[in-house]
Structure 1
Amino acid sequence: MELKSCPLLSAVLLVLVASFHYQVSASFVGIWKPIEDLNSPLVLEIIRFAVSEHNKKDGAKLQFVKVVKGEKQVVEGFNYKLVITANDGASGNAPGNYEAVVWDKPWAHFRQLTSFTKV
């Protein structure tokens, strides 16, 4: 029996392959995964963006010191959840840790600070 003469078998195989692909792809969407290289140029660019946006919004004068931890989530684009250490240039207080969440869609040239909180 030739495969081309069995359209039902071909259709079933196509549905199974598509279903498997969807399940594998969907399993990665929405899951936070650790960022392996916290000092990559992209991560540092996103951190500079987050600190700059926070400073503009809140009139703060935070200065980035180092990355403590980072995670990435696949959404419509990517969410980056980054814990950083920053100095408060305005108050002269000791450095503190902050969690920034940034939504990034590089193909659309879109980046938005979703949250920025002291931790």
Structure 2
Amino acid sequence: MNNKAIFLLLLSLVLLHASAAAPTGRWTPISNVKDPHVVAVGKFAVSEYDMQSKSELKFVAVVSGESKVVAGISYRLIVAVNDGVAGPGASKNYEAIVWEKEWLKSMNLTSFKPVV
């Protein structure tokens, strides 16, 4: 085999492995919702929603989540928040979708709605 054929074979194997490791466009469960980065994304979602809607929700925790690769990473998180209405210690769940482009250090809140 010549060098070009070997290179193409290795490149194909690397691309095949990468596509199997991170399926593009398909939601996959986040196994550790206490991961500091996942928590930071959840806090960003609540903070951004507060700023946009002039509300005063307080982040409590990330309850569950999924992510998918789409020109960055899209996170679909269920976050527990305290709205100050339900009383101290009580929380409500919201679904937040955040699109992150980590290489640009950019996050965008695309959806934030109560879980019914």
- The answer to whether the aligner puts 1:30 opposite 2:25 as a matched pair is yes
Which residue among 59, 65, 68 is the counterpart of 2:63? 68
> What CA distance in whole angstroms lies between the structure 2 residues aligned with 1:95 and 1:24?
39
- Alignment identity in percent? 39
* TM-score between both structures, scaled by the size of structure 1: 0.78
Which residue matches 1:51? Answer: 46
Matching residue of 1:108? 104
Aligned twin of 1:77: 72
Query: TM-score, normalised to structure 2's length?
Result: 0.80
Q: Is the 8 A contact 2:67 2:74 kept in 1?
A: yes
Q: Secondary structure at the match of 1:28?
A: coil
Gaps of 5+ in 2: none
1:18 to 12, 24, 29: 12
CA-CA distance at 1:106 after TM superposition: 1.1
Distance 1:31 1:65 in 2: 27
* 1:22 Cα deviation from its structure 2 partner: 5.4
Give the superposition deviation at 1:20.
Answer: 8.7
Counterpart residue identity of residue 30, structure 1: G
CA distance in 1 between counterparts of 2:34 and 2:14 reads 35
Q: Which runs of 4+ in 1 moved over 2 A?
A: 17-24
Larger Rg: 1
* Displacement of 1:71: 0.5
